[in-house]
Amino acid sequence: MLWIMSILKNKTFIWLLLIVNLFGTIYGYIWYIPQLRNTPSQFLVFVPDSPTASLFFCFVLLAFLLNRNWPLFEVLAIITLFKYGIWAVVMNLLTLWVSGDLPWEGYMLMASHGAMALQGILYSSFYRVRIWHIIVGAVWTVHNDIIDYVYMQFPVYSSLSMYIQHIGYFTFWLSIVSIAIAYFFTQKTKRLDIQVRP
């Protein structure tokens, strides 16, 4: 376990992780461009779910490189990385089940989003999150679900449109699980110092 923590605190590793997440964030926003063109302006912030989650984590990593903590970004990152990481894996598996086929991009998305879900938790020992941060993160997350499934601004998977009510129900409970995970890993586990090593 100590060697994992040593790697996580390594400056070069954090820089590499920041670069990977930054490129993933840019790619994610590009992926959403067709949907964003048809999105009412008041919903624009809430539509690109996964790239916004990885953007939160970019700020977390940047803070670590400065030997600092930005708790609001930390809690938003751990909740949304887990939520949308798991969500994307499940949606791509559901697409494969419904259509019987999944393009190579779908497998790439499952791998990258699975890693997303994991990375926020891996760094959680270094977070300095308080209960009020979790409350803010919870409000953001549930509000995003309302935008997606009440105002119908959810990510477009055309082959799954007939299951949208079930997906909305699943997403809500995934949000609750993600908030609970954030609470456990930031309040019930040991805190470590993030002194970045060269």
- Which tens digit of pLDDT belongs to each residue from 10-39? 999 999 999 999 999 999 999 999 999 999
The pTM score is: 0.94
From residue 26, give the alpha-carbon distance in Å to each of 23, 69, 178. 5, 24, 24
Domain residue spans in the chain? 1-188
Angle, alpha carbons 38-136-34 (nearest 5°): 15
For residue 1, name the pLDDT band (cuts at 50, 70, 90).
low
Q: Taking all residues of the chain, what is their mean pLDDT, rounded to a whole number? A: 93
Most confident of 3-17, 44-58, 93-107: 44-58
d(CA 46, CA 25): 14
Provide, rounded to the nearest whole percent, the portion of the chain with pLDDT above 70. 97
| Residue range 58-78: mean pLDDT, rounded | 97
Residues 6+ apart with CB under 8 A from 129: 71, 74, 75, 78, 182, 186, 187
Assess contact for 28 and 84: CB atoms under 8 A.
no
For residue 81 the two structure tokens come to 């990385």
